[in-house]
Structure formats: C-alpha cells, structure tokens
Structure 1
Amino acid sequence: MDQFDKLLRQRAAEEPVPIPSDYAGRVFQACAALSEAPQKIHHRHWGRWLAAALALFIALPNVSTSAAAAMTEIPGLGALVKVITFRSYSYDDGHSSMDILVPELSGSDAANAVNQEVRTYTDELLTQFYRDCERVGDGYQDLRVSSVVLANTDTWFTLRIDATQTEASSYAFSRFYHIDKATGQVVSLGDLFRDGAEYTAVLSDEVRRQMETQLSADRTLAYFPDDFDGIDPEQNFYFDAEGNLVLVFDEYGIAAGSMGMPEFTMEKNIYQSLLKEKYQKG
C-alpha cells in the first residue's frame, strides 16, 4: 500500500481539476447509511470500512484522471481502471446529416495515443463531411460513426471504429486500434511478427485461397480474387474468441458492395511460426 499511496498522492497533487472536497465524505456517508442488525454490528464494522475503501478505489479513477494514471502504474492493477467516456458530434441541415459517437480512453500513455489517433481520424471525416455539404448543396448525404470494444482483457485491448458514408450509395469502412497491455504499446499488424517475416505474403495467399474456395462453393458471391494484390502491411485485424487472427476489409476493397465488409479468419497454424516469441504463447 505504501507504493500505491505515494503514487496516488503524487498524481493527485498534479491534478488540474481537484477531486470534490466532500467526495470521501459522501462515500463514507453512503456506507454508514447501510442498515444492519444491532447484534451483527460488532462483527461487521470492518466490512463497512472495507466497503468504503473499495467504493473509493472503484470510483476514484472516474473523478480523477491523474488517479487513474497512478493506479495503472501499480503492478496488476492496470486492467482494473480503464475509464471510457465519449465524444459526440451531430449535424442536420435538412439535407446533410451526421452523427459521430466515439470513445475516449484513459489510464495509460497507450490509451492517450489511441485517443489522438481517433481524434485525427474523426477530424478528417468531419472535414470531408463539411466539404461534401458545400459540394452537394441541397442534395443528400449522411455520415454515421460508431464504435465497439472488441477486447479488454488483462493483456489486450481492441477498439473498433465503424463508419458509413451515404450519398448516392453507401460505403462502410472500419479502423481498429489495439493496445498490448503487457508492454503498454499501441500495436498494429506488423508489430505482431518477427522482423523479416513474410507475413503479408502468407496471409495474402490464405485470403486468396479462401476467396476462391468460397466462390467455388457459391458462384453468387462477388469477390474479386484476380484484382487482389495482397493485404496491406497494416491491415485491419482483430483476434476472435479462439485467438485466431481475423483480417477485415473495407466495403468494395476486394468484393462488390453486396458483400459488405469481408472478414477472413486465419487459423493459428498458418502464421504462428512467423509471430514474435511473446505472441506465439497467446
């Protein structure tokens, strides 16, 4: 507890917006208001103090970003204090409309880095949207941006941002942001693999094989395997529940719009030997 107390006090002292002066009092008042049978009070007075301390520990990161950051520096506590808020933008002039709701993360330098990337990305979308408003005039256009947290374990975090632009037709695309909590780093696809590993060739061959297999089984599918030059070195991806790598393509990227956003699951045995050692154990 000494290490925790020292770090928390240091960060709290630097907090630009102080914690409300009556915050702790509110916590203890709430705990004191809990009804208990008189005969059990002497057995359970420790429980009250423990409940108060636990309530303060859980709530503190939500009222103090410095406290949250301090907690992430305590070994084993980082995964407990991930705080998520939201930034939203909306617009509707009767012709063009826009609705953006994206999360803002806190708790680590990597989370701040993701925030900056998401801000840059959404700012680009907003700038293009307002340019399109001038271009289409009284015509119709729409932009929708939403998000989902795909993973938030003790060691890994994945945020997915989905966007859909609609004018004469719609176009859907996504961006994925990953944090390796073990290293505290933001991770892209290339970071998973050993230097010099031919991961793009191996994964591209598997995507091409799956497209051709699916087309052979169902000729109504509209993949474009002949136009597929290979995956991008920083291809969108996520890990499924079994730990397999899933590659995600934007709409129209490798197939007709009717195919939506194609996803291809890469079995571990295809690429595992190419991974950096620390990821081979995952």
Structure 2
Amino acid sequence: MKEFEKLKTEYDSTPIPPELNDRIQAGIRQGRRRRVLRICRRSLGTAAACLVVAVGVLNVSPPVAAAAADLPVLGPLFQVLTVRAYDQTEDGIDYHVSVPGVISDSELAQRVNQEIQERVDALTAQAQQDWEDYREVFFATGGTQQQWDEREMDVIVDYEIKSQSENAVSFTVDFGEGWVTAAQERYCYNLDLAENRDITLRDLLGDAWVERCNQAVQSYIAAHTDEHGYTLFFDSEAGGFTTVDENTRFYIRSDGVPVLVFQEYTIAAGAAGIVEIPVEDTQT
C-alpha cells in the first residue's frame, strides 16, 4: 500500500507540459471531423442508394419513366431505357436479358415496344424448344445424365443506342442463342418521334439511296477480298449480295452515317458474323 501511495504522489506531482492541452483539444477536433465524415459518408451512401432506386424504378416502370422524360432537365435521356432486365438460370438455360423500351405515348413507340417484346418471347420459346429437342436426341444417342448436367445454353437479349437527338433515336437489339451452335440476330430501330414514323434510307441518302448503298457494299466486299480472290462473301450465284431494298436493316451512327446490317449467313460465311457496312458521305 505504501508503495502505491508513493507512486500516486509522484504521479500527482508530475508537471503537465503546456502543450498538452493543445494536443487534447486537437484530438477532440480530429474526433469530431471523423464523426462528421462518417455522417457524410452515410448520407452520400443513402443518396446513392436513392439514385439506384430511382434508376431501378425507371427501368421497370414505363409510366414513371414517361413522367421523368417530361422534366426539362432530363429531356430525351429517358426516351429509350431498360424496361426489363434479368439474369437467371432455369432448366440448364442461362438467361441474360436486357429489354429496351421507347417511353412515349405515340403509336410508333407502342408498336416498337410490342414488337420487341414479341421477339423476346419468341426467342425464349424457341430456345426452350431447341434445348428440349437437343436433350431428347442427346439421351437417345447414349448420353448420360452426368454428361448432360455439364451442358448449358445461353440466351442473350441486349441493346445499344447508336444515336439520339431531341426527336429521333436509333438503336439495335441483339437476340442470341448459344449452345452446340451459336446464332445471333440484330434488329434495327430508327425512329422519328416527332413525326411518329420510321426513318428510312431514302431520308438519309436521298433518291439515289439504292445506288449509294449498293456501291458501298460492293466496295466493302472488294476491300475484303485478297489478291487470290478469296473472300468470306458469297457471290451472287451462291445467294450473295445483289441489292438493298426497303427491308435492308440499318442503324444511324452518332455522326449521321447510316450503317447497313446483314445477318449471319445472308451475304457471307458464318465466320464473318453479322456484317455492318457504313454508307459514307451522307446527305443530312
């Protein structure tokens, strides 16, 4: 006990450095700053979460997105957006789906949205049927359950906005199915929302649009043919390219240039994939 009282007396008599109070006050201020930062971070996190929720609502609720499109600050940013998206696996099929929608009260938008959804439904149904047919053949030819469990199919729906202005938008939607073989198809949408109509190649290229497109395609094929005459493109006798028409798919680049889109195996071998050919020097 005497030893403890001795140590206590020495502790009480120890002089306090004059800068100690400043250090204590600085520590208190630092602690306050850290507490404020934690509060700010929580607030920013809450704000970010609110933003995610807002975007999520726009992605699944066309009426809400339509209301947002009326805001002068947002404007056309919400004319095309994801209205349905999911990633899931069911019965061995991996679905990766991102479906766009045109947010507008126009008949054109309603038609396009219905068409896209019908194509998504058709792709899903076809993929399921293909998978079931493959399963039947697989087991009929001696495949085992263990081997089958190692197989899978991918079904992909995705889109890309190619260009967008105050009154017009151009975007593509890709539909893909991949398993033993792979297939992909690209649809193009070029919409004049102000005029409530589809934009045509004639609108972009003038009355000579057929000739200009054909020349662009022929030049592209020539540029992709080697000195020995080898090319992935079919000749006309083998069902290759002959001419464009009103059904030729295309999208509009951000610089206003139309890009012709030819599906797999239509004008070239499968190794070429989907062929895209720009028609330069447009009259805009």
TM-score normalised by length of structure 1 = 0.61
Distance 1:175 1:64 in 2: 22
Change (3 A) 1:265 1:218: farther
1:231 equivalent to 2:228? Answer no
Which of 205, 211, 218 aligns to 2:221? It is 211
How far apart, in 2, do the equivalents of 1:70 and 1:125 lie? 31
CA distance in 1, matches of 2:120, 2:202: 24
Which aligned pairs between 1:193-212 and structure 2 lie closer than 5 A? 197=207, 199-212=209-222
Preserved CA contact (<8 Å) 1:146 1:163: yes
**Deviation sequence 1:106-149 (CA, Å, 0-9, x none):** 13413333211211211221221122122112655432111111
Equivalence for 2:63: 65
More off after superposition, 244-253 vs 183-192: 183-192
Shift of 1:157: 0.7
Match of 1:156 in 2: 168
TM-superposed CA distance for 1:64, in Å, is 8.0
Q: 1:206 to 1:225 in 2, by over 3 A?
A: farther
Residue number among 245, 260, 265 corresponding to 2:278 in the alignment = 265
Q: Which residue of 2 aligns with 1:249?
A: 262
Q: Counterpart amino acid of 2:247?
A: E
Q: Are the aligned partners of 2:102 and 2:113 in contact in 1 as well (CA < 8 Å)?
A: yes
Letter in 2 for 1:136: Y
Cross-structure match for 1:37: none
Q: 1:214 to 1:183 in 2, by over 3 A?
A: same
For residues 179-207 of structure 1, the C-alpha deviation after alignment (integer angstroms, 9 at most, x for no partner) is 2133233335466576xx46335423431
Distance 1:130 1:97, change over 3 A: same
Q: How many Å apart are 1:246 and its aligned residue? A: 0.9
Aligned pairs for 1:15-26 (under 5 A) are: none
Q: Which residue of 1 aligns with 2:132?
A: 134
- Per the alignment, do residues 203 and 103 of structure 1 end up closer, same or farther by CA in structure 2, a change over 3 Å counting? same
Report the aligned-residue RMSD. 3.6
What's the counterpart of residue 85 of structure 1? 82
Query: Of the two, which has the highest radius of gyration?
Result: 2
Quick check: 1:114 aligned with 2:112? yes
Q: Do 1:200 and 1:233's aligned partners in 2 also have CA atoms closer than 8 Å?
A: no
Unpaired segments ≥5 residues, structure 1: 1-57, 273-279
The alignment's TM-score, normalised by the length of structure 2, stands at: 0.60
**2:245, 2:253 → 1: CA distance?**
20
Amino acid corresponding to residue 210 of structure 1 in structure 2: Y
Q: CA deviation at 1:267?
A: 1.7
Question: How much does 1:83 deviate?
Answer: 6.1
**Paired position in structure 2 for 1:146:** 158
CA contact (8 A) 2:169 2:190 kept: yes
Letter in 2 for 1:174: R
Residue 152 of structure 1: how far off its partner (Å): 1.9
User: Distance between the aligned counterparts of 1:161 and 1:85, measured in 2?
Assistant: 12
Q: 1:124 to 1:203 in 2, by over 3 A?
A: same
2:97 is matched with 100
Most deviating of 106-115 and 247-256: 106-115
Contact 1:212–1:225 at 8 Å: present in 2 too? no
**Offset of residue 223 of structure 1:** 1.4
- 1:266 CA displacement: 0.8
Contact 1:211/1:225 (8 A) holds in 2 = no
1:218 CA displacement: 8.2
Give the CA deviation at 1:174: 0.5
Count of residues in correspondence between the two structures: 211
Q: In structure 2, how many angstroms separate the alpha carbons of the residues matched to 1:246 and 1:103?
A: 20
